[in-house]
């Protein structure tokens, strides 16, 4: 079971809580889904990526297919259930490229990490 909440904390608290990011990922030739990547041991764990099989309208309204963009979030797991607290103020975007192009070139996760480090630096 999946649940989500969207809320606003102060900027510094949001950044400290980030342990995941959401993005639209292509799961087949004709289909994209909201995907989640977890931050573990101080880095984005590429092998942790999974997609949300149910609707996630809050994220779908923010994340786009036609350019690179990710939404930082807080992921919480409780056995078979999980929740995502998305922080709409923490979106990383670049309209000059796409998620797919960056992924295929091997630069997707490094671009996310660079943006994440900028967020961390700006919160101090």
Structural contact between residues 4 and 57, judged by C-beta atoms closer than 8 angstroms: no
Q: How confident is the model at residue 54 (pLDDT cuts 50, 70, 90)?
A: confident
Task: Please choose, from the candidates 45, 96, 49, 46, the residue with its C-alpha nearest in 3D space to the C-alpha of residue 69.
Answer: 96
Q: Determine the Cα–Cα distance for residues 50 and 47; give it in Å rounded to an integer.
A: 9
Count CA atoms closer than 13 A to 76's CA, side-chain side. 10
Domain count, the chain: 1
**pLDDT tens track for 64-121:** 888 999 999 999 988 788 888 877 778 889 999 999 999 999 999 999 999 999 888 8
Identify the pLDDT of residue 6. 47
DSSP H or E segment with residue 41: none
Residue 50 has pLDDT above 50, yes or no: yes
Range of the domain at 44: 2-123
**DSSP-based helix, strand, coil % in the chain, nearest 5:** 30, 45, 25
CB burial class (10 A; 0-12, 13-18, 19+) of residue 82? middle
Reduced to 3 states (helix: H, G, I; strand: E, B; else coil), residue 44 is strand
């Amino acid at each position: 079971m999946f649940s989500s909440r969207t809320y606003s904390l102060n900027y510094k608290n949001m950044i400290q809580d980030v342990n995941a990011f959401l993005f639209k990922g292509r799961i087949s030739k004709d289909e994209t889904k909201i995907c989640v990547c977890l931050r573990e041991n101080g880095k984005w764990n590429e092998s942790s990526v999974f997609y949300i099989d149910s609707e996630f309208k809050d994220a779908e309204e923010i994340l786009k297919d036609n350019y690179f963009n990710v939404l930082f979030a807080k992921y919480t797991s409780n056995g078979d259930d999980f929740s995502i607290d998305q922080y709409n103020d923490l979106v990383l975007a670049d309209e000059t490229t796409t998620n797919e192009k960056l992924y295929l070139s091997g630069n997707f996760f490094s671009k996310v990490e660079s943006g994440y480090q900028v967020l961390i630096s700006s919160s101090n």
